[in-house]
């Protein structure tokens, strides 16, 4: 149990105390500001941004906005929100929204939200809010498929992937084009990335493929197919139960084939590997005998995609005004930090060992005890070792900083023109 390895359990009732220290010592205010100020490359890009705080008992405070980093930092440390959400950049200061009814969003990162609960009908290891390394593989696949599409197809570069603290991931696309997309553009991209799966709740997901497949679909297949055996057959043992095989059969859109397969399955050993190879073998032999109906021509690929293709919550992506939890928040239920991770190494990311707020605070204490000399004499903040560097949050902060560095390079040119403009009289 990873929980046991970490030694100390997280106690949600102590959250306010943890948070007070966390915001004071660990939360990367500076980086946070550097990210959202985008080099001040556009007017009001930071000051007109909406923040929302969730306080105790799910009380929301919306339409907060801050003048600069120190005001933001002061507010966060004073209010100690359980959760911070990031909204859009508006045409006016959001905090003045009451006096101005014409408030409208001007820009907003393109965001994606993928949640493991949407995979509940294909994952057998956990359900609902739980997560283990096996289910994380679904997220890793999703992350890979979406990330490559955003970069190669749309040419986006500044993409931040964040673990959402419990069982999902958030993706922030911060390129200028992405931030300035209107609702229609966001909807189009979301639909492009989404594979329509017929069948609603509790029914079987079904993907339909045609002979001519879009390059993004073929690319997704090349990512998914090599992983199918590992994830679906070995880890999830998805067809090892009666419900599992039933679900597989339901994906076959042909009555006769279903019956024949059912008979075959009844004589097969009920483990996923045998069932799947029977399934594949059945259609392969049909193909060889050229008895395969056109609608069944891609059945294998269809099943693979239906089970592993990313399941996006596209409503989050479509709106320009949707609030999304900020990186480096503490998930109130798990105590885990919403840390950024590297999408290329998504498979290596371990959601169960994500640093928890209580442990991080312990780590600082331990570090400080070891270096008592340094803390004995109060020194300048600047010369002190940055607190986050003393903890296991260090790695994710580096990823975040690297993301910001590249982002700043791209916004620099623009920042110059904006400041030039301000000089004019």
Partner 1 sequence: MDFPKRSKIKPLKTPDEESIDRFAPHNCMFYIVPPQNDVSLKDFEELAIERLKLLRILEQAGLKYPKILSDEWKEHIINELNLEGLKYFVRLIKGNGNTDQDKQSRRRDYLSHFILRFAYCRSEELRRWFMAREMELFRFKFSALSSSEIKDFIEIYEMGYRPINDEQKNEIRQELQNMVTGSVDNVDFYKVNFLSVLDLVRQRKCFLKGGYAYVSSMDFSSIIGGHHQKFIEKGLMSHLKLLPEFENDERIVGIIKGLHTSYVGKDYTVNKEADIPIESLNQLSLKSYPLCMRMCHDSLRTTHHLKHGGRIQYGLFLKGIGVTLEDSLRFWREEFTKNIEPDKFDKTYAYGIRYNYGKEGSRTNWSPYSCMKVINTAPNPQDIHGCPFKLWDTIELRSKLTTYGLNAMAVQDVVSYASKGHFQLACGRYFEAVHETKLDEGITHPNAYFEYSQIIMGNRLAKEKSTPTSQQSNFNNRKQVQMNKQQEFKRKMDARIKEEHDFDEELWKLSQHEEELLTQWKARQDATQTEISQIASMDWNDDNENVEDMSQIANYL
| 402 noted as active-site residue | no
Q: What are residue 171's DSSP bridge partners?
A: 112, 161
Choice from 3, 127, 192, 384 touching partner 1 (CB under 8 A): 192
225 binding partner 1? (CB under 8 A): no
216 binding partner 1? (CB under 8 A): yes
- Decide whether 20 or 214 has the Cβ nearer to partner 1: 214
Whole-number Å distance between alpha carbons of 173 and 160: 6
Whole-number Å distance between alpha carbons of 43 and 415: 10
Contacts by residues 67-70 (CB-CB < 8 Å, ≥ 24 positions apart): 68/33, 69/29, 69/30, 69/33, 69/37
154 binding partner 1? (CB under 8 A): yes
- Decide whether 98 or 212 has the Cβ nearer to partner 1: 212
189 binding partner 1? (CB under 8 A): yes
Whole-number Å distance between alpha carbons of 207 and 220: 13
223 binding partner 1? (CB under 8 A): no
Residue holding tokens 């580096």?
Answer: 398
Closest approach, Cβ 151 to partner 1, in A, equals 9
Residue 231: other Cβ atoms inside 10 A: 21
212 binding partner 1? (CB under 8 A): yes
- Decide whether 195 or 292 has the Cβ nearer to partner 1: 195
Choice from 7, 58, 184, 373 touching partner 1 (CB under 8 A): 184
Candidates 208-216, 261-269, 295-303, 361-369; binding stretch for partner 1 (CB under 8 A): 208-216
Residue in 42, 85, 115, 235 annotated catalytic: 115
Nearest to 163 by CA among 348, 406, 387: 348
Choice from 14, 130, 177, 198 touching partner 1 (CB under 8 A): 177
Choice from 63, 120, 187, 249 touching partner 1 (CB under 8 A): 187
Choice from 213, 237, 342, 352 touching partner 1 (CB under 8 A): 213
- Decide whether 184 or 421 has the Cβ nearer to partner 1: 184
- Decide whether 33 or 156 has the Cβ nearer to partner 1: 156
Choice from 40, 77, 132, 217 touching partner 1 (CB under 8 A): 217
155 binding partner 1? (CB under 8 A): yes
DSSP secondary structure code for residue 15 in this structure: H
Nearest to 309 by CA among 197, 408, 402: 197
| 73 noted as active-site residue | no
Decide: helix, strand or coil at residue 170. Answer: strand
188 binding partner 1? (CB under 8 A): yes
Find the largest Cα–Cα distance for the chain. 85
Choice from 20, 30, 104, 215 touching partner 1 (CB under 8 A): 215
Residue in 73, 85, 109, 113 annotated catalytic: 113
44 binding partner 1? (CB under 8 A): no
- For 394-421, letters b (16+ CB in 10 Å) and e give eebbebbbebbeebbebbeeebeeeeee
Q: Are 326 and 86 contacting, i.e. CB atoms less than 8 angstroms apart?
A: yes
191 binding partner 1? (CB under 8 A): yes
Whole-number Å distance between alpha carbons of 328 and 76: 13
153 binding partner 1? (CB under 8 A): yes
- Decide whether 191 or 368 has the Cβ nearer to partner 1: 191
Characterize the bridge pairing of strands 168-173 and 340-341.
unpaired
Closest approach, Cβ 176 to partner 1, in A, equals 12
| Upper half-sphere CA count for residue 185 (Cβ side, 13 Å) | 13
Whole-number Å distance between alpha carbons of 390 and 408: 26
| Total site size for partner 1, rule CB under 8 A | 21
Nearest to 245 by CA among 271, 218, 280, 281: 271
Candidates 160-168, 215-223, 256-264, 351-359; binding stretch for partner 1 (CB under 8 A): 215-223
| 50 noted as active-site residue | yes
Q: Which residues bind partner 1 (CB under 8 A)?
A: 152-156, 177, 181, 184-185, 187-189, 191-192, 212-218
Q: Which residues are catalytic, by number? A: 50, 113, 115
């Amino acid at each position: 149990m990873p929980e046991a390895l970490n030694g100390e359990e997280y106690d949600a009732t102590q959250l306010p105390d943890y948070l007070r220290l966390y915001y004071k010592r660990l939360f990367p205010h500076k980086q946070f500001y550097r990210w959202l100020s985008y080099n001040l490359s556009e007017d009001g890009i930071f000051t007109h941004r909406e923040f929302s705080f969730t306080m105790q008992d799910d009380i929301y405070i919306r339409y907060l906005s801050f003048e600069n980093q120190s005001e933001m930092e002061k507010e966060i440390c004073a209010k100690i929100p359980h959760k911070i959400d990031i909204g859009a950049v508006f045409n006016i200061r959001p905090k003045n929204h009451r006096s101005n009814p014409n408030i409208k969003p001007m820009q907003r990162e393109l965001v994606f939200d993928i949640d493991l609960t949407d995979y509940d009908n294909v994952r057998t290891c956990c359900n609902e809010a739980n997560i283990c390394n096996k289910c994380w593989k679904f997220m890793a696949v999703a992350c890979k498929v979406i990330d490559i599409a955003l970069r190669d197809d749309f040419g986006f570069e500044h993409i931040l992937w964040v673990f959402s603290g419990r069982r999902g991931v958030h993706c922030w696309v911060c390129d200028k084009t992405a931030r300035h997309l209107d609702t229609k553009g966001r909807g189009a991209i979301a639909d492009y990335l989404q594979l329509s799966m017929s069948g609603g709740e509790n029914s079987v997901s079904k993907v339909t493929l045609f002979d001519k497949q879009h390059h993004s679909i073929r690319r997704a297949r090349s990512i998914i197919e090599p992983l199918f055996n590992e994830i679906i057959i070995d880890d999830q043992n998805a067809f090892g139960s009666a419900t599992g095989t039933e679900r597989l059969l339901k994906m076959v859109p042909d009555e006769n084939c279903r019956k024949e397969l059912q008979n075959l399955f009844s004589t097969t050993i009920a483990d996923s590997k045998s069932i799947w190879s029977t399934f594949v073998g059945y259609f392969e032999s049909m193909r060889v005998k050229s008895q395969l109906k056109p609608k069944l021509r891609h059945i294998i690929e269809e099943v693979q995609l239906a089970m592993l293709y990313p399941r996006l919550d596209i409503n989050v992506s479509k709106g320009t005004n949707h609030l999304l939890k900020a990186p480096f928040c503490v998930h109130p239920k798990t105590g885990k930090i919403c840390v950024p991770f590297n999408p290329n190494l998504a498979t290596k990311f371990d959601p169960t060992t994500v640093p928890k707020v209580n442990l991080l605070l312990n780590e600082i204490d331990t570090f400080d005890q070891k270096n008592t000399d340094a803390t004995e004499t109060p020194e300048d903040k600047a010369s002190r070792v940055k607190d986050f560097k003393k903890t296991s949050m260090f790695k994710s902060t580096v990823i975040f900083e690297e993301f910001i560095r590249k982002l700043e390079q791209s916004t620099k040119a623009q920042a110059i023109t904006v400041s030039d403009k301000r000089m004019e009289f």
